[in-house]
Structure 1
Amino acid sequence: MGTSPEPAEAAAGSAAAPGGRNRRRTIVIAVIAGLMILAVAAAAFLLNRPRTETATPAQTSAPAPETSAPEPTPEPTPTPTPDPPPTALNILLVGSDSRINERAVAASGATSDQRGDALVLLHLPADRQSIYGISIMRDLWVDIPGYGAAKVNAGLELGGVPLMTQTVEALLGQPINHTVMADFQGFAAMTDALGGVDVNITQSFQGTVDDFVYFPPGVNRLNGVQALAFVRERHAFSDGDYQRVRNQQTFLKAMMAKMAAEGALTDRNTVKQLVSTVLPHVTVSPGLTVETLEQLVFSLRSTPPGNGLFFTLPTAGAGFSRDGQSIILQNPAATAAVSAALASGTLGEYIAANGLQGGN
């Protein structure tokens, strides 16, 4: 992974894209909400499923008289339909500056006034023994199907969730089974619902936005406001967006570790609070129903804690487009190798061989 200087924020990704935007965009990390919605929605379904109760017969003053009628033959108990065997899945997690009405527009495939400011491809192998997350730099210069060259995050603005999905499929040459888009108006509250998250910070830094939070070296227990500042910060680092992505991966792993250690999703009140926080801030592709989520999360029941590996799709560093935009350049050979590893189910070996696991 390179350490090239941070490319400056640019406007739209191509001549076809809307340009000249000066408004400040909210920077978010999609992967946390994406993983939470997969787990929380399924837990909500299980906890709120209607229960079938056996009615108690009313007592009478005298027993009913016996009759000589034969007892009915009991019907055979139906054999339950087994769950289908797990298959490998690719789930695209998109974070944007979306609002509720804008998420609805984006889900429909219409032009949307927002960008995908955080992109992560979540890969679940068929054996469910690991979970892999591939962060994609938002300024990566790619081909947007039907529009031409642009920054990868322009896909959401130009054609909503469907085009954003097609863009990442074209980049990695792999099908995407489901897409989850999230905003982070509820991000701080979700972190607080877990009682904060412990993050090991290897190098201190001073935040440059909002509350200007200072992060000392060592283990920091981050509350909601601090966590949001941690995953948003880029100006404090010499390599800008690269370090921000690493911090997002660090926070995600810390959150997963806490949930595994404390069994957060087994506590009814915690689940309800997480559900009420997360659900209003996500949009999922049509095929990702509550029943699908239930099956998906149940298929992860044997995944060993700590087997989540996250890395950033390798790039060729910073550069400029023909029209002068500051961009991140693709590394075609590395991208092809990641695509091949996804297709062959050898992503773990690829990560180990290239030392790509992210985080601090």
Structure 2
Amino acid sequence: MNGRRRLWLASGLAVLLVIGVVLAVVLTRSGQTTAGPTPSSVSASATATPSATKKASTPPPAPAAPAPPTIANLPAAPMNILVIGSDSRENAHQEADQTATTGVASDQRSDCLMLIHVPADRHLVYGISIMRDTWINVPGYGTTKVNAGLGLGGIDLTTRTVESMFGIHIDHTVMLDFHGFKLLTDGLGGIDVNVPQDFTSTIETQHHFTAGVNHLDGQAALEFVRERHAFADGDYTRVRDQQIFMRALLSKLSTSLKEPATVLALVNFAANDLTVDGGFNPVSVAILAYGMRTIDPAASVFFTLPNAGPGTSSDGQSIIIPDYGAIAAVGAAVRDDTLAQYAAAHGF
């Protein structure tokens, strides 16, 4: 490992970006009108003879604007989406493609993994953070850190790893890197984040954060979600801050997506800076986005997958020891769509 800091992407991104896609389609198409004269009116005006004794003919009415496209309703069933934050400073999409094509490992890690569970009623979402150093079985590679799967086998291997951890099926996977994270934040005009405590980042610009609401641009936001060395408990506080940022991002997106210019900017962002699994085509994106229209970001619940604390592997690596009982309980709640009861019982 080269010691680079790692990126976590706010979990709500997967859900709300697709909302932007479908809104852009509706807004663009419903705004189309017939411009200029119709063929019939052009013909009539070209052949008419001016006369002082005749009234000008009345052109036929312009045809009505086309109706907005209809979108199929999403089946009333729960859905699981895996969000990956890549630590790549280059192009995470190209690196993952190369790994998938050649089988040669790449130098990137999924140092943030967030499992998003969307219940069947579509009222809210649950975000489950998996700590990057969790010592778990990666299919085909044995026991290692969960974040190693991305470099070893791309997003497909990472997806299979999380599926095998929880005993669940993941419907879709999305991934973002450093550049895309900053681009998203800046594209939204920055995000207001309620910072719990004063601290100064140890990363890049060493941005100082004050307790209370801070308006963060892309660079400051990246330092906020990456920072761990400024805290006594390292990754645990970092994960907490990531969840705080995620809530702020959800709130920003829920209001910003009402503006057509912002919607279209997010569509362009999604097309160029978001890596998705092969089955996530435009039709499925539109259907998913329309099905998410009832979600309330403020009611959504986010928590870190319980673990047995830090430890050391047999080869000397610093790891997070998995709590297999907790993993099994969370997996069962995801499968049974009973995360509301699980979260309430554990105070999340």
Aligned to 2:267, what secondary structure does the other structure show? helix
Q: 2:334 aligns with which of 336, 342, 352?
A: 342
Cα-to-partner distance string for 1:58-93 (whole Å, 9 max, x where unaligned): 13358xxxxxxxxxxxxxxxxx89535232111111
For 1:58, the equivalent position in structure 2 comes to: 40
Aligned residues of 1:103 and 1:283 also touching (Cα < 8 A): no
Structure 1 residues 22, 170: closer, same or farther in 2, change over 3 A? same
Aligned to 2:342, what secondary structure does the other structure show? helix
Aligned residue identity for 1:265: L
Q: Which stretch has the larger CA shift, 28-37 or 305-314?
A: 28-37
Please, which runs of 5 or more residues in structure 2 have no aligned partner? 49-69
Structure 1 residues 192, 47: closer, same or farther in 2, change over 3 A? same
Cα-to-partner distance string for 1:243-293 (whole Å, 9 max, x where unaligned): 111111101101212333xx3112111122233334322211111111111
Distance in 1 between residues matched to 2:113 and 2:224, nearest whole Å: 17
Aligned to 1:200, what secondary structure does the other structure show? strand
Cα-to-partner distance string for 1:132-153 (whole Å, 9 max, x where unaligned): 1111011000011111101011
Cα-to-partner distance string for 1:32-78 (whole Å, 9 max, x where unaligned): 5434432333334444559876683413358xxxxxxxxxxxxxxxx
Distance in 2 between residues matched to 1:57 and 1:282, nearest whole Å: 43
Aligned residues of 1:109 and 1:159 also touching (Cα < 8 A): no
Distance in 1 between residues matched to 2:5 and 2:297, nearest whole Å: 35
Distance in 1 between residues matched to 2:283 and 2:101, nearest whole Å: 22
For 1:286, the equivalent position in structure 2 comes to: 278
Structure 1 residues 48, 112: closer, same or farther in 2, change over 3 A? farther
For 1:201, the equivalent position in structure 2 comes to: 195
Q: Which stretch has the larger CA shift, 179-188 or 129-138?
A: 179-188
- Alignment length (residue pairs): 317
Cα-to-partner distance string for 1:212-245 (whole Å, 9 max, x where unaligned): 1111111111122211111110101111111111
Residues 290-305 of structure 1 mapped to structure 2, 5 A cutoff:
290-305=282-297
Aligned residue identity for 2:267: V
Kindly state the Cα deviation for residue 334 of structure 1 after the two structures are TM-superposed.
0.9
Aligned to 2:170, what secondary structure does the other structure show? coil
For 1:70, the equivalent position in structure 2 comes to: none
Q: Which has the higher helix share?
A: 2
Distance in 1 between residues matched to 2:127 and 2:300, nearest whole Å: 8
Residues 110-121 of structure 1 mapped to structure 2, 5 A cutoff:
110-113=103-106, 114-121=108-115
The answer to whether residue 87 in structure 2 is matched with residue 97 in structure 1 is yes
Aligned residue identity for 1:258: K
Structure 1 residues 151, 196: closer, same or farther in 2, change over 3 A? same
Aligned residue identity for 1:301: R
The answer to whether residue 227 in structure 2 is matched with residue 233 in structure 1 is yes
Q: 1:151 aligns with which of 134, 145, 148?
A: 145
Aligned residues of 2:5 and 2:226 also touching (Cα < 8 A): no
Aligned to 2:193, what secondary structure does the other structure show? strand
Distance in 2 between residues matched to 1:156 and 1:192, nearest whole Å: 26
RMSD: 2.3
Distance in 1 between residues matched to 2:273 and 2:115, nearest whole Å: 19
Could you tell me the percent identity over the aligned residues?
Answer: 46
Aligned residues of 2:85 and 2:113 also touching (Cα < 8 A): yes
TM-score (norm 2): 0.84
For 1:73, the equivalent position in structure 2 comes to: none
Q: Which stretch has the larger CA shift, 152-161 or 187-196?
A: 187-196
Q: Which stretch has the larger CA shift, 32-41 or 121-130?
A: 32-41
Aligned residue identity for 1:347: L
- Which structure 1 residue ranges, 4+ long, deviate > 4 Å from structure 2? 47-55, 106-109
